[in-house]
Amino acid sequence: MKAIVRYEYGSPDIVKLEEVQKPTPANNELLIKVRATSINRSDWEGVVGKPLYVRIGGLFKPKDGILGSDIAGTVEALGKDVKQFRPGDEVFGLILNYGGGFAEYACISEKALALKPAGMTFEEAAAIPQAAFIALQGIRDKGKVQPGQRVLINGAGGGTGVFAIQLAKLAGAEVTGVDSSEKLDFMRSLGADHVIDYTKEDFTKNGKQYDLILDVIAYHRSVFAYQRALAPNGNYFMAGGSVATIFQMLLLGPLIKRITSKNIQLLVVQTDSKDLVYITELIQSGNVKLVIDKRYTLSETAEAIRYLGEGHAKGKIVIEVPKGNA
Ligand SMILES: NC(=O)c1ccc[n+]([C@@H]2O[C@H](COP(=O)([O-])OP(=O)(O)OC[C@H]3O[C@@H](n4cnc5c(N)ncnc54)[C@H](OP(=O)(O)O)[C@@H]3O)[C@@H](O)[C@H]2O)c1
């Protein structure tokens, strides 16, 4: 089969379309004929090798050659313990702990997969999983956002932000989105009540406080800065960011909680197919809109990763994997 592989860390130029062996599903996995996949910041991170935690298991060379975690396609074969799906089913889901999605075929756990609604294209379905899981678990499950609460989403103009802004608004929150200058109108169009241009203003230094901060891009700040931006009993969850910030959170988060009653911690995303069903219902009912910024083919994946990594993407970037021809 054809797949996008990389053997080192570097710029997107290191990723190449190559012929590789088709994977075999484990007992609890399905083999999917991939029809579409999407790009997440985690793919950019896996290419450049930063933050450092992406090098776990492969400090100097990547452990897994193929990136890509969001997939939509048809079930080709089943591991012997798979109960809920049959060959031919149209499905979508998230390969969380390892990649493999930038390929004509990929293996995925049953737990992280749902049936694709008939009215949704493969490209639309592939734009959902990772970003929606982070947003749902940050805003709904951990954040438990209530009407009238002040919610700030840092990095709100990207893939996760598209869902997070809309979910926070649906929960009745007053939402502030933080991103670069060219994404301010985009965040407003998704429902953000206030927007902050991170190149001009530091949200931890403007005197405002929030009941929930969901941070998809936690770099450059100390946990004390986040603490300052939280209202009493407020919650801060870090979805993505640097290893230094992770260490600070693990070491100092519990101390800050004891002294100030403000909760600062990591968000560790779990896959649950019920979340995929939940978010597709919101999309189909028109309560949440999917935003696909650009579409590429599998052979153009390097360009797609570069487009996201260089900060151009407003919403999701989708890779179409045409039948039998990448
Ligand atoms: N916690 C977990 O279990 C878990 C699981 C999976 C993935 N993740 C992580 O979660 C993150 C998800 O990111 P995503 O896919 O939503 O990323 P994304 O689509 O790239 O969005 C990030 C946004 O942040 C903006 N940005 C860059 N620098 C910023 C700054 N200093 N302040 C504010 N905004 C800034 C970017 O815009 P510009 O570039 O234009 O500035 C972009 O719009 C990734 O880091 C991924 O590794 C976590």
Q: pLDDT tens digits for 162-185?
A: 999 999 999 999 999 999 999 999
Predicted confidence (pLDDT) per residue in 191-227, tens digit: 999 999 999 999 999 999 999 999 999 998 999 999 9
Is the predicted pLDDT of residue 322 greater than 80, yes or no?
no
Predicted confidence (pLDDT) per residue in 101-117, tens digit: 999 999 999 999 999 99
Which atom in ligand 1 lies closest to the alpha carbon of residue 179?
34
Indicate whether residue 217 lines ligand 1 (CB < 6 A). Answer: yes
Tokens coding 288: 């949440």
Is the predicted pLDDT of residue 246 greater than 70, yes or no?
yes
Indicate whether residue 131 lines ligand 1 (CB < 6 A). Answer: yes
Indicate whether residue 269 lines ligand 1 (CB < 6 A). Answer: yes
pLDDT at 324: 52
CB atoms within 10 A of CB 44: 21
Q: Which of 179, 182, 290 to mutate to test the pocket of ligand 1 (most atoms within 8 A of CB)?
A: 179
Indicate whether residue 159 lines ligand 1 (CB < 6 A). Answer: yes
Summarize the confidence of residues 87-98 as an average pLDDT.
92
The mean pLDDT of the chain is 95
Are 36 and 126 in contact by the 8 Å Cβ rule? The answer is yes
For 258-287, b where at least 16 C-beta lie within 10 A, e where not — what string? eeeebbbbbbebebbbebbeebbebbeeee
Which atom in ligand 1 lies closest to the alpha carbon of residue 313?
43
Summarize the confidence of residues 26-30 as an average pLDDT.
95
Query: Nearest residue CA, atom 47 of ligand 1?
Result: 42
Q: From CA 13, how far away is CA 306, in angstroms rounded?
A: 9
Query: Nearest residue CA, atom 5 of ligand 1?
Result: 269
Q: Cα(73) to centroid of ligand 1, in Å?
A: 26
Q: For the chain, what is the total number of helices (H) and then of strands (E)?
A: 9, 15
Are 12 and 302 in contact by the 8 Å Cβ rule? The answer is yes
Strand 150-154 to strand 113-115: parallel, antiparallel, or no bridges (unpaired)? unpaired
pLDDT at 325: 47
Predicted confidence (pLDDT) per residue in 266-321, tens digit: 999 999 999 999 999 999 999 999 999 999 999 999 999 999 999 999 999 999 99
Percent of the chain scored above 70 by pLDDT? 98
